[in-house]
Structure 1
Amino acid sequence: MALYIIKSLALLSVLSVQTLAMVQVRVNEGVLEGERVRNEYGGEYYSFKGIPYAQPPLGDLRFKAPQPPQPWKNVRSAKEFGPKCYQYDLFMEKGKRDGSEDCLYLNVYTPDIKPDKPLPVMFWIHGGGFVSGAGDDDEYGPKLLIRKDVIVVTINYRLEVLGFLCLDTEDVPGNAGMKDQVAALRWVNKNIADFGGDPDNVIIFGESAGGVSVSYQVISPMSKGLFKRAIAQSGVSLCYWAQAYRPRERAFALGRKLGFYSDDVNELYEFLKKQPVESLIQAKASITYAENQRTHEEVYFSVADEKQFGNNERFYYGDMVDAVSNNVHEGIEIMTGYTADEGLMGVAIFGDIERNLDQARNFPQFFVSYPMSLNLPVNDQLELGKRIRDYYFDNPIAIPDDWEKLGRYYGMDIFVFATMRWIKIIARTNKNKVYLYKFTVKTELNKAAHMMGLAEVLGDKEVVAHSDDLGYLFNMKELPLIDMNSTTFEHVEKVTQLWTNFAKHGNPTPDNSLGVEWTPYSSDKQDYLDIGNELTTGNAPDEEELQFWENLLTEYGQKLY
């Protein structure tokens, strides 16, 4: 009787934290013990956290491609998240550093370990500008999506210089962080059946730098055959910040920042390998005078054009426009889009609003996109910048009242124009079915701009900022439990239905249950879905503004298509 009481008290304690039972699954490397937990939004699911998909990238493995995980003998606990990859916060708590170099872990959430039919697998790649973020449930809890009978996988991958240092050598060819993502996908393909998943129906999806990652994965030879569908949210490989500029020179600039002054790349490698991680992260490694003067936050370490060394696997190489035109995996179904107010992120993180508007008023070059600032003569930059400024602003620019106009410019420059270029190039090839959306839902879940520090300037204005779509897909610790009888939850149901329909069928609206038919994007009709408080179809979103950019950048010699 005493033993029964002890067991009962233990069960009550477990239930208080939503854990219903322990459960074990055998994967290639050994046995994992996870948990069966209660979902506040209905039902239960199985949770397996902190699963190693590669060896810890420590010591001589720093900067290198991930190595296969080591097996373990005893039952391994999968009840706690693995450490975040070492990082600094670019968005919310600017400059805050945390994490570990031992961080290559993933998490698997499944509604049923032994379903009658294998379940679709939704593989999430987090954003964060390639400098921050993680796959834990601070921002990416599975409780909203998993109700739709899909498996959710979230991952960590190496960030900033640790994930994207490129020395153009065999030891450090670049893109270690992207190869981490490939290693996680390979692990999922080998093991997901043990969790009830279908390795032949994996969809990759991600937002911001995660969307960029998705769009690189669909053209990378390393990831071919590892997934069936892809969703790139608010970020694609054609974004200027998604492509590394002179990465080897960037590495030497980092070395000089840390006191290394040799021109020997092998000595640089040994030097960087021995530096404490705290010294490597967030070191401003500018390589041009103009870049050093920019007030913008820069993504200094990004995806590089890899050189060939013997038979090494290259994640990405070549010209980006050519790659999107010719190398998208044939037959992969794609969805992409952006939020209505993407550029408010730029207003929030690119320094003081009044200072930026003052620079915009006084220096036309403020509006010249980074890649064009590297190639255009100064006279052309002045003229180009003036024409962009005149398009968005009346003269003179009002400070600080014109922050919304500045946000419109940032949205097009950082996210929207690249997204539209990307989908137009893919549509022209006719090899892939592709869907376009614009996300305009407005509810109390739209907190991103406030959390980035814009609450005072926004006042009561409702916006759909960069990353505001995420609260409709994931439960987040920053957001309260959503009333399942509320209108807000109806929007959550709508968005999760679109995403999981696409995961299951390659079509976000396979029937009339959402009251709308989302037609694939084509070069002639440019169909898209406005995902707002109502679902509405349309053609050629933001056409006039996009046409202005397209005509102007073509005039100044940029290769668009």
Structure 2
Amino acid sequence: MSRLILLIFIFLATYAHSEDPIVQISNGKIKGEMMVTPYNRSFYAFRGIPYAKPPLGDLRFQAPQKPDNWTGILNSDAKDRICIQLYSQSQPNESEDCLYIHVYTPQIPSETQKVSLPVMYVIHGGGFAYGTPTPQELGPQYLMDYDVVVVTVGYRLGFLGFLSTGDLNCPGNYGLKDQQFGLRWVQDNIRHFGGDPKRVTIFGESAGAVSVGLHLLGENSEGLFIGAIQDSGSSLANWALQTSPKDIAYKLGKQIDSTINENNTSTSELVRIFRALDIPRLKKACAEVFGEGFQANYNDIYQGFLLTGTIEPKHDGAFLTKSPFQSLIKGDFIKVPTLLGINSEESLFLAEDPTLEDKMAYFDQNKELYVPPNMHISDQKTKKLVGEKITRMYDPSGCLHQNKAISIRFFSDTSFGRPTIKQAQLQSKYSDVFFYEFGYSGKMGKQFPSPDIPGKVCHSEEMMYIFHRSDAKDIFSFQEEDRITMKRMLTMWTNFVKYQNPTPECLEILQSTIWPKISNVDEMPYLSINNSLEVKVNLKKQMMEGYQQLYDEYAVPPLDTY
């Protein structure tokens, strides 16, 4: 009888624990919930954990600060909250109070069972202006079958996250400082969720990948992670760095009040004005200055996003004070193993832009527009010459507007391919680098809003094989080849999180492929991820050599990006 009572007690205790998980962290207790993977494995979700004080009032345009403790058990009301987006129309769950972390774990430690799993710290993309860390877009369901702890982080976006006056009144990089502050929260708290603070790998896609690349250069990021994954984004991309932040700040100020200019308004006064603005007025002004929607903002991607990371004046708490290109070429960065790569046609979404041909015709008539701003060429005659040479790299006629596929390839190369490959080449001289090209064109990837063109893989498609979206179809509704690709991606990416090597051993699901790190940039190996896995060399070699010749001959040093 006593044995039966004991079994009942154990069952009830286990049931209560699984249905109502409670974890004690440094600020108080937090209540979680149960979720399940497509393969019916249960896991724990702790969503909407405050990792910093709400950046409101005087804390707007300030570095993040530690949150206050709470009493009782926190059942967060911020589980689906997202940071202010650049759209003029607000979404119901948007808030300036958005510095929350979400933790997902397959196992919670107890007094009798120690758990110490590797951690994947996820920084969402969205051009530094949009995006969400919530499971609506970054669902951890697929990853939970691979014994890792997943952490997703909310960070300030757009104007609130990346305004800079170029001086100490508003040095900028607040969104990046939020990410870094979240990493420190992980160091202090992740063990309570079964994570190992000594085995944290940072992951990002698109602007998240740029963020990861900037953390490798970060002034105060040393010791917060042991590996980095960058999907489709590099700190060397021209759109990764705003180079005239003060001009941008005054441009926005003038939009709010036409009398504002550098002669009659100091940067401290400008920040005071911005700090007092309500969100609707701020969003309206941003939409008027920066455009509305991703497609409008993508028009700036070649010339550089207006609100992104910036080089700060040196001061305590600075995130970035060095040029990305100069830091990488000198080996002045955090040397951890890095996995990075691109999709086969990143800018394919431009195929749905009805104005693309007209835009490219305008480029063809003004060849200087093809010249990367990071070449620092000021002489217009030289600029036109270089622009002409760039167009002839893609088409002997020098007219790209007549061929949509070539136009798209140009933007894919210059926005993603060239800077990402260059980062891999420079970084591999100092640390382990594994490079890939994702070219598998499956229906599962086409769930992301992108053109369904067989054989072509658009920006962000690979994310559909790693993260679950709330609007995604059941994975078992797709063909077996899609699910095999998904298992391959999950195996290699989580292997890297666990071992800092995507293929530490031969596995049947990976076709016994061993993915080599880059040891020779002249024969640069990379993994081609398609219907099968294949190690190849020298991705986009002709394009890279062509641009290198132009940079060597015409670029004005020192370079910040590439």
- TM-score, with normalisation over the residues of structure 1? 0.87
User: Which residues of structure 2 form unaligned runs of 5+?
Assistant: 1-14, 291-295
| 2:463 counterpart of 1:470 | yes
Decide whether the 8 Å contact of 1:36 with 1:45 is kept in 2: yes
**Aligned partner (choices 135, 139, 142) of residue 140 of structure 2:** 142
Comparing 294-303 with 248-257, which one deviates more in the overlay? Answer: 294-303
**Aligned partner (choices 17, 42, 45) of residue 44 of structure 1:** 42
**Aligned partner (choices 366, 371, 374) of residue 371 of structure 1:** 374
Decide whether the 8 Å contact of 1:20 with 1:38 is kept in 2: no
Which string of whole-angstrom CA distances, capped at 9 and with x for unpartnered residues, describes residues 90-149 of structure 1? Answer: xxxxx6543211110110000001265400000000011100001011211001111100
CA distance in 2, matches of 1:346, 1:174: 31
Match of 2:106 in 1: 111
Report SS of the residue matched to 2:434. Answer: strand
Which string of whole-angstrom CA distances, capped at 9 and with x for unpartnered residues, describes residues 291-323 of structure 1? Answer: x999546521111111124xx211001222222
CA distance in 2, matches of 1:117, 1:314: 35
Aligned-residue identity in percent: 31
| 2:306 counterpart of 1:307 | no
Shift of 1:546: 1.3
Shift of 1:464: 0.6
Report SS of the residue matched to 1:238. Answer: coil
Shift of 1:557: 1.8
Match of 2:397 in 1: 395
**Aligned partner (choices 205, 218, 222) of residue 207 of structure 1:** 205
Which string of whole-angstrom CA distances, capped at 9 and with x for unpartnered residues, describes residues 205-241 of structure 1? Answer: 0011000000111111211101110011111111011
Shift of 1:79: 7.5
Match of 1:358 in 2: 361
**Pairs within 5 Å for 1:97-496:** 97-98=90-91, 99-114=94-109, 116-259=114-257, 260-261=260-261, 262-281=264-283, 282-283=286-287, 285=289, 296=300, 299-309=305-315, 312-326=316-330, 329-346=333-350, 352-372=355-375, 375-393=377-395, 395=397, 397=399, 402-428=403-429, 430=430, 432-447=431-446, 451-452=449-450, 454=451, 458=453, 461-483=454-476, 486-496=480-490
Report SS of the residue matched to 2:19. Answer: strand
Distance 1:263 1:435, change over 3 A: same
Decide whether the 8 Å contact of 1:347 with 1:407 is kept in 2: yes
CA distance in 2, matches of 1:492, 1:141: 14
Decide whether the 8 Å contact of 2:38 with 2:142 is kept in 1: no
CA distance in 2, matches of 1:520, 1:335: 9
CA distance in 2, matches of 1:276, 1:129: 23
Distance 1:184 1:110, change over 3 A: same
Match of 1:521 in 2: 518
CA distance in 2, matches of 1:331, 1:303: 21
Comparing 258-267 with 414-423, which one deviates more in the overlay? Answer: 258-267
Distance 1:80 1:158, change over 3 A: closer
Which string of whole-angstrom CA distances, capped at 9 and with x for unpartnered residues, describes residues 25-62 of structure 1? Answer: 00000000001222222311000101111000000111
Decide whether the 8 Å contact of 1:446 with 1:463 is kept in 2: no
Shift of 1:556: 1.1
Report SS of the residue matched to 1:308. Answer: coil
Distance 1:365 1:294, change over 3 A: farther
CA distance in 2, matches of 1:200, 1:328: 22
CA distance in 1, matches of 2:314, 2:20: 47
Decide whether the 8 Å contact of 1:347 with 1:406 is kept in 2: no
Shift of 1:345: 4.0
CA distance in 1, matches of 2:185, 2:352: 37
Comparing 535-544 with 111-120, which one deviates more in the overlay? Answer: 111-120
- TM-score, with normalisation over the residues of structure 2? 0.87
Comparing 170-179 with 54-63, which one deviates more in the overlay? Answer: 170-179
Decide whether the 8 Å contact of 1:254 with 1:284 is kept in 2: no
CA distance in 2, matches of 1:116, 1:25: 14
CA distance in 2, matches of 1:293, 1:151: 34
User: Which residues of structure 1 form unaligned runs of 5+?
Assistant: 1-14, 90-94, 287-291
CA distance in 1, matches of 2:488, 2:400: 40
Between Structure 1 and Structure 2, how many residues are aligned?
521
Match of 2:8 in 1: none
CA distance in 2, matches of 1:295, 1:189: 39
| 2:547 counterpart of 1:546 | no
Distance 1:140 1:543, change over 3 A: same
Shift of 1:168: 3.1
CA distance in 2, matches of 1:23, 1:169: 46
Shift of 1:326: 4.0
**Aligned partner (choices 528, 531, 553) of residue 530 of structure 1:** 528
CA distance in 2, matches of 1:36, 1:467: 28
Distance 1:346 1:300, change over 3 A: farther
CA distance in 2, matches of 1:293, 1:127: 14
Report SS of the residue matched to 1:447. Answer: helix
CA distance in 1, matches of 2:489, 2:398: 41
Shift of 1:258: 0.9
Decide whether the 8 Å contact of 2:436 with 2:528 is kept in 1: yes
CA distance in 2, matches of 1:306, 1:64: 14
Which string of whole-angstrom CA distances, capped at 9 and with x for unpartnered residues, describes residues 508-560 of structure 1? Answer: 00110021011101234311111111110011111111111111222212556
Decide whether the 8 Å contact of 2:518 with 2:524 is kept in 1: yes
CA distance in 2, matches of 1:154, 1:544: 38
Comparing 219-228 with 72-81, which one deviates more in the overlay? Answer: 72-81
